Structures are given as structure tokens and as C-alpha cells.
Amino acid sequence: MAEIIPILKDNFDFEKQVKTLTNLCKHDLESVNTLILEKLDSSVPLIHEIASYLIISGGKRLRPLMTSACFHLNYNNQKKMMNHIGLAAALEFIHAATLLHDDVVDESMKRRGKLTANEVWGNKTSVLVGDFLFSRSFQLMTKYGNLETLKILSDTSVVISEGEVLELSNDKNLKINENIYFEVINGKTASLFSAACQVGGISSNANKSQIEALKAFGTNFGMTFQLVDDAIDYCSNKKILGKNIGDDFKEGKITLPIILAYGRSNQKEKNFWQRVISELKQKDDDFEEAITIINKYNCIEDTILRAKHFSNVAIDSLDAFKNNKYKDCLINLTETSIKRIA
């Protein structure tokens, strides 16, 4: 049997840092959740049911937490400013909408350990409720944002869509290069983290250089987070991800471990990848074979090396801010995000 790299207890350090950040931003998060519940209301009961199923059922609220933390990095408490709460809620709606659309495109059956909305209610309804959540997010933006935050969030929505289409246009393409892959995960994951950080800073009247620093932090944190997620799928367990290991493999997703493995493989191994990923003709023991090849060429280790580069850039970006508990927590969160995997 192929060796599956274990998850170490360091993963719980990441969960601990998320909890620390949640406690640090407790009052903001309570306000965000209250606003989310209010805006989930609809005259169409099915919309409320499906949106609530996804948004209330789980998730760490990482993006709203980032908005809150970045707001407090620079906030001097001299004025009671609450616009970041509405913007944080808008970000969570955008995130939820992309998840609904993602699950339809990927034909996913489970998310966070439970059936996806498209499995329960069907693809058409899931897409339309995703559109509803996008529309709600723009209502929140116009109410709580200014021209600068509106531009950032609307531009981000475009980038997310572009990332989705770029991924779809390269579906099952084993010859995709790292640059295209990075463009995909920047669009689908990192761009929203970046937006979350920027709008938090703007809401606290951060200066231009500080906002640029927050943009860099969010982007590089997001790249780190997604790279580690992609690596974990080939060496983790169900408890960590809330899904079975190998889900990306079973769906034929092209992630960095696969890109590296295919590029380094001999012809026989390349034929294997073509069959199991491009043609999606998989046998019972193919996942074990995939792990064997991935480990043979150190693809997990090299994926994590890329992630470490992005995490170092993220941490260095926070040098623009004075030391405080919010900065410390963001640094710890970034450092431990790498340690989710051995």
C-alpha cells in the first residue's frame, strides 16, 4: 500500500489560531452573523432554506475575520465606525455564492461533511440561489461601502469569475503549467482574501501604503491556504478536511501535486495520469498508485515549498503595521496554515 503522509498535531495549532482570531474579533463576528441572518431573509422560502443550509451550517468565517482583524490593525477607537461589519457580511455572501456555483460546476456531492445544495435541491436552484447571494452582497456594498471598496469588491467578483472559467477551460488538461494554475487559485481563492483585507483597512482609514500591504498579505495568505489544501487532499484524513481524501483525484482536478507529478513522470506514468485524470477511467487501486508516484517525485514537499514562499511574503507584508495582538494573530495564522500538513 502506498504511504500516506500523516497529519501532525500542528494542524490543531491552525485551528487554535482560528479560534484565537475568532475570540479576538468576537463582537464584530456576532454583528456580522446577525446581519447575515437578516439578509438571508426572502419572500421566497426556498431561497432562505438553501442559503441558510450553506451559510449557517458551518465554515470558519475566515474572510469576515480577516476584514475585522485588518480593520483593527489600524483602528484607534476614537470613532465608532461600523462599515467594516457590512462589508464583512458582503464578503461572506460572495464566498457562499461561489461555493454554490463551484459545486454545480464540479458536480460535487459533499461539502463540509454534508451533501451539497445541488445534490439536495438540484443544479438549477443552486445556481439561482448563488445569484441571489451575489445580489445581496452588492446591496451590502452599496450601503456600507464607498467608491474605493465598491471598486475592489466588484473587481474581485470579476476576477473570481475569470478564475472559474480559466479552470474550466483547462479541465483535465495535464499540460497546464504552474503559472496558469497560480492564476486560477489567485482568482478563485486568493483574490477574495485580498479584498477582505483591503476593505478592512480602508474602513479604518488606513493610508495607501498600508492598503497595498493588506492587499499583498491577503493575496499571499490565500495562495498559501489553497496550495496547502491541494496538498492535504493527497495526504490527509477525513477529519481534517470534512471530506474523504482523494476527492480531487476522483474528480480529476488538476492541482499542483498533479502538475508536478505529471511533468516529472516517465512515459508509463504519464499514460497512467492520462487515463485516471484526463479520461477519468479509474480503478480501485489507482489512488494508491497516484500517491506512490506523487511521493516518488516529492510533489507534496515541493507544493509546500511554494506555499512557504507565499506565506513568508504574506508575513513580511505586515511590517507596514505596528505590533499589536491582531498583527500577531494574523502572523500566527499564516505560519500555522502551513503546518496543517506534515
Q: With respect to residue 341, please indicate whether it lies within any of the assigned structural domains.
A: no
Q: In whole angstroms, what is the distance from residue 66 CA to residue 78 CA?
A: 21
How high does pLDDT run on average in the chain?
Answer: 89
Total domains present in the chain: 1
Helix (H) or strand (E) holding 281: none
Q: What is the mean pLDDT of residues 265-270?
A: 98
* pLDDT at 8 (0 to 100): 39
Q: With respect to residue 2, please indicate whether it lies within any of the assigned structural domains.
A: no
Spatial neighbors of 20 by CB under 8 A, at least 6 apart, are 329, 332
Q: Kindly report the CATH number assigned to the domain that includes residue 173.
A: 1.10.600.10
Stronger pLDDT, 58 or 111, i.e. the higher one: 111
Spatial neighbors of 12 by CB under 8 A, at least 6 apart, are none
Confidence of residue 58 (pLDDT cuts 50, 70, 90): low
Confidence of residue 117 (pLDDT cuts 50, 70, 90): confident
Residue of 320, 133, 302 whose CA lies nearest to 234: 302
Q: With respect to residue 155, please indicate whether it lies within any of the assigned structural domains.
A: yes
Q: With respect to residue 1, please indicate whether it lies within any of the assigned structural domains.
A: no
Q: What is the mean pLDDT of residues 120-132?
A: 91
Q: With respect to residue 166, please indicate whether it lies within any of the assigned structural domains.
A: yes
* Residue-number span of the structural domain to which 45 is assigned: 10-336
* pLDDT at 107 (0 to 100): 78
Q: With respect to residue 14, please indicate whether it lies within any of the assigned structural domains.
A: yes
With H, G, I as helix, E, B as strand and everything else as coil, classify residue 111.
strand
The structure's pTM equals 0.91
Helix (H) or strand (E) holding 252: none
Q: With respect to residue 116, please indicate whether it lies within any of the assigned structural domains.
A: yes
Confidence of residue 79 (pLDDT cuts 50, 70, 90): low
Confidence of residue 199 (pLDDT cuts 50, 70, 90): very high
